Structure 1
Amino acid sequence: MMTTLLALDTSTEACSVALLHKGEKIHLDEMAQRTHTKRILPMIDEILAQAGIGLAQTDALVFGRGPGSFTGVRVGAGIAQGLALGADLPVIPISNLTAMAQQGYETCGAERVLCAIDARMNEVYFSGLQAEKVRWENEEFIQWRAIIEEKVCRPQQAIELIDSLQGDFLRVGTGWNAYTEFTQRELDNRSAIELPSAQYMLSLALPLYRQKQWISAVEIEPVYLRNEVTWKKLPGRE
């Protein structure tokens, strides 16, 4: 039986929705500066209508759990929780940094990726990832191993970590053009991939769904990385 997954992401300036249905992917991507709350639900309705199904006919909900902007990550988590509770769906949270690495793999064939999203305040959300091929029920999937764990750090700290690595890496994300520490340094393999998209979260979520590695709606928790960020817990959490 084919799996149907609905993915959404509002963690950055981009707003995106994607659907895996009958083995095919469809997606909608928009730039939505400060309009995520107005656009995300109509985009979800549109993509479900394109496929001719309702939310209850999906098997699981996938969402970008961060890191990203405080408001954007919180909006995505809240929408995902509300939809999952209403339709009684399991949830699969996906790292936005890893989603960009997956895009680098699918579009550029990159198996080693450095991810940097501009976090403002002279910091970036940063990680280094290595692709590894795994098989599950006669299908091959890509999973990502962290060479540099997700963190929020200053550009100079990221450069010091990069200098400790060997080999070539594809660079993805808005962070690389945001700060002079990066632009003045001769770093190779800068890609055109700047922001995460929900369509690449589907590839990451499918093997997790097959292996029943999901959570319930009440377990949803945004990932901000900044310790000083405080937030009111989502409805349903103690």
Structure 2
Amino acid sequence: MKLLALDASTEALSVAVVDSERDYEIEHFEIAPQAHARRLLPLAHELLERAELALADLDGFAFGRGPGAFTGLRIAAGLVQGLAAGVDRPVVPVSTLAALAARCFHHDEKIRHVRVVQDARMGEIYTADYQRGETAAPIVIEEERVIRPEALDTDDAWVRAGNGWGVVASARGVAADTLVALEQWPHALDIARLAWPVLARGDGVAAARALPVYVRDDVTRKPSGAR
């Protein structure tokens, strides 16, 4: 299974190419605020060239569908839609929160549960809880939601991931280093790893249906502290 994955959901941007038949993986990752629109497409072409693949060789595409920065999500979705439509390939939209959890599980096989918290701006956070599945793929325990940071349970039994724990610490009036995340940023490589089994099952979507998920729009405009 050969696929190209993109993520532009945060200040970071990343592009990955995975070829499961060759056991080949390559990724470019950088912190580059405001550079997503300019950098993503050239990086995609660069990594495909290094992998000795053309767009037509790919079985599909994947992208970080959110939640995350609205502009970055639209950039990634639009780029993937254009590339996938051009070669008539399916797309797998992957949760950026699940990708962060997957990165933690990949980091240490002993990790069983991860709580992901991303900065949602406007005094809110995106959060979701996951447990390790049989193949280390994240299984959702608590669905993605947007809440006020002071409403989050900070149980130390959870491994922390995401760039929003500093927001939680600030809301609780504690030092930022008391709530440290194992991983802060979603990576396209983890998105690709989560997407290729979906593509293998034939469960990708048509390019036109590869849409961002904002969560804030999906649940409510008014923040809720309810779990």
TM-score under structure 1 length normalisation: 0.84
2:192 is matched with: 202
CA distance in 1, matches of 2:91, 2:172: 36
- Higher mean displacement: 63-72 or 103-112: 103-112
For 2:222, the equivalent position in structure 1 comes to: none
Contact 1:170 1:190 in 2 (8 A): no
| 1:111 Cα offset (Å) | 2.2
Kept in 2, the 8 Å contact 1:91–1:214? The answer is yes
Deviation string, structure 1 residues 162-185 (Cα, Å, up to 9, x no partner)? 55xxx8211001100134135628
- Which residue matches 1:151? 145
Give 2:183's aligned residue. Answer: 193
- Residue 11 (structure 1) aligns with: 9
What amino acid is aligned across from residue 214 of structure 2 in structure 1?
Y
**Which residue type is aligned with residue 202 of structure 1?**
A
Question: CA-to-partner distance for each residue in 1:190-226, whole Å, 9 max, x for gaps?
Answer: 3341110001112211221221111010112210111
| Aligned-partner SS, 1:221 | coil
Percent identity (aligned): 37
- Corresponding position: 1:175 with 2:173: no
Q: Which residue of 1 aligns with 2:40?
A: 40
1:97-112 equivalences under 5 Å are 97-109=97-109, 110-112=111-113
1:13-162 mapped onto 2 (5 Å cutoff): 13-21=11-19, 22-109=22-109, 110-133=111-134, 141-159=135-153, 162=154
Partner of 2:225: none
Match of 1:226 in 2: 216
Tell me, what secondary structure is at the counterpart of 1:178?
helix
The answer for the alignment partner of 2:202 in structure 1 is 212
Q: Once the 2 structures are TM-superposed, how far is the Cα of residue 146 of structure 1 from its aligned partner?
A: 1.7
Q: Distance between the aligned counterparts of 2:159 and 2:179, measured in 1?
A: 5
Q: Work out whether residues 6 and 20 of structure 1, in 8 Å CA contact, stay in contact via their aligned partners in 2.
A: yes
Q: Distance in 2 between matches of 1:58 and 1:17?
A: 14
Deviation track 1:104-130 (CA, whole Å, cap 9, x = no partner) reads 011133221000111111111100111
For residues 146 and 183 of structure 1, what CA distance do their matches in structure 2 show? 29
Whichever residue aligns with residue 219 of structure 1, its letter is R
The 8 Å contact of residues 67 and 96 in structure 2, kept in 1 or not, is answered as yes
The 1:51–1:87 alpha-carbon spacing in structure 2 relative to 1, beyond 3 Å, is same
Contact 1:176 1:183 in 2 (8 A): no
- Matched residues in 1 for 2:173 and 2:115: separation? 15
In structure 2, C-alpha distance between the alignment counterparts of 1:36 and 1:187, rounded to whole Å? 29
- Residue by residue over 1:78-105, the C-alpha shift from the partner in whole angstroms, topping out at 9 and shown as x without a partner, is 1110111011111011000000000001
Q: CA RMSD in A?
A: 2.1
Retained in 2: the 8 A contact 1:176–1:182?
no
TM-score (norm 2): 0.88
Give SS of 1:119's match: strand
**Pair 183,31 (structure 1): closer, same or farther in 2 beyond 3 Å:** farther
